[in-house]
Amino acid sequence: MHKNNLKTIIHIVGNRPQFIKLAVLYKELATDANINQEIIHTGQHYSFNMSDIFFAELKIPKPTLNFNINNNTTTIFVQEATEKLYQYFLQKNNTIVFVYGDTNTTLAAALAAKNAKLPLLHFEAGVRTYDNTMPEEINRVQTDKLAEINYCCTQKNYETMLAEGFDANKVIQTGDLMLDAFLKIEASKSNVVKTLKYIACTIHREANLSSKENLTQIIHALNKINNSIAVVMPIHPHTQKRILEYNINIEFVTTPALGYADMKKVLLDSEYVITDSGGASREAYFLKKKSLIIMDKPFWPEIIEQNCSLYTTANECKIIEKNNALSFLKPNFETNIFGNGNAAKNIHTHISKYLLV
């Protein structure tokens, strides 16, 4: 490619999982002299422990822009982010927009890119729960439809896209950037948790936080489980806010939200994982840890199909029941559900070909 065809890829990110995926892909694309890169942070995750620490720890360049849009409803956030991104995109030529996952940031960037007539590439396409009451489902389905190219983490995601009628030339199975990050970034050496035997837990999904009943049921279940084995929860700021607002009593150990290396250490040293996070359930799988997923319709049924995980609704009795059942699982951690840790290279290879078209 000639220098006058130099392309700029703008990565749009806003939350912890996106920062992690960005870190490995940015470094891979930085080896290509034909590609410039920019980063725009919408501000969706804005506290130090949920944002700045990841840029510092993962050695991601500071964003070209940070819109600092936060503390808004979904509708207002998407409106503001879409408009700001659209105005910025209008100034750009020879530019491709790259988005990750299924957040409000992702949808806003997809809408802005299409309105500005810029090509859109989407990583983590083809994930489906078929639950249109879930904001993430709406975001990912719409983004898949708007994208010129969709990159899939798993074979199931890829087959889902083809079954929905997507052009096979525009759907690429790459493996998972989260696995790339897991293999490349070492766990912290620090003693993050003093307890010797414990369950690692993360709760942050909006469906569980916006419902006082759901969050109360989850915390009460964790309190009871904690009587048998310690529960340790690095706590998302929004989760902390809701727990205080609902006046829910916690009887287990909590820590502030952690950076990537410290969180990996917490997961690594745990007996198993309880989570409502698609990211943490994958990281548990990478670490060959069983997990209990508190979601009615989990994002990664592939993990459950390999007997590595169980799932449940946000009901105290069901959480305890499924927690007890975990010990009877005969897990298969040997299937490469999420690829071989070469997702960034696979995406780079495809982008290089795409730029020549």
Residue 321 pLDDT greater than 60, yes or no? yes
The answer to whether residues 324 and 352 belong to one domain is: no
Residue 189 lies in a domain: no
Instruction: Tell me, yes or no, whether 206 and 167 share the same domain.
Output: no
Sign of CA dihedral 123, 355, 19, 114: negative
Asked whether residue 113 is assigned to any structural domain, the reply reads: yes
Domain shared by 24 and 166, yes or no: yes
d(CA 129, CA 205): 15
Q: How far is residue 23's CA from residue 145's CA, in Å, rounded to a whole number?
A: 25
- 210 and 242 co-located in one domain: yes
Claim to verify: residue 15 and residue 140 sit in the same structural domain: yes
Domain contains 79: yes
Asked whether residue 215 is assigned to any structural domain, the reply reads yes
Percent of the chain with pLDDT over 90: 84
Instruction: Please check whether residues 39 and 100 belong to one and the same domain.
Output: yes
Query: Does residue 99 share a domain with residue 243?
Result: no
pLDDT of 49 above 80: no
Is residue 154 in a domain?
Answer: yes
- In-domain check, residue 336: no
Same domain assignment for residues 90 and 153:
yes
Domain that holds residue 256: 198-328
Mean pLDDT of 304-313: 98
**pLDDT tens string 168-179:** 999 999 999 999
Q: In three state form, how does the secondary structure of 51-97 look?
A: CHHHHHHCCCCCCCEECCCCCCCHHHHHHHHHHHHHHHHCCCCCEEE
- pLDDT tens by residue, 260-280: 999 999 999 999 999 999 999
Domain identity same for 87 and 204? no
Q: How many domains does the chain have?
A: 2
Residues 260 and 302 in one domain: yes
> What pTM value is reported for the model?
0.94
Residue 48, pLDDT > 60, answer no
Amino acid at 183: L
What's at 74, amino acid-wise? T
Residue 194: partners with Cβ closer than 8 Å, 6 or more residues away:
none
Give me the CATH number covering residue 202. 3.40.50.2000
In this structure, are 316 and 350 located in the same domain? no
Per-residue pLDDT tens digits for 53-106: 878 888 899 999 999 887 668 889 999 999 999 999 999 999 999 999 999 999
Q: pLDDT (tens digit, 9 = 90+) per residue, 324-339?
A: 999 999 999 999 999 9
CA distances to 212, 213, 233 from 12, rounded to whole Å, are 32, 34, 29
Tell me if 190 is assigned to some domain.
Answer: no
Question: Is 193 a domain residue?
Answer: no
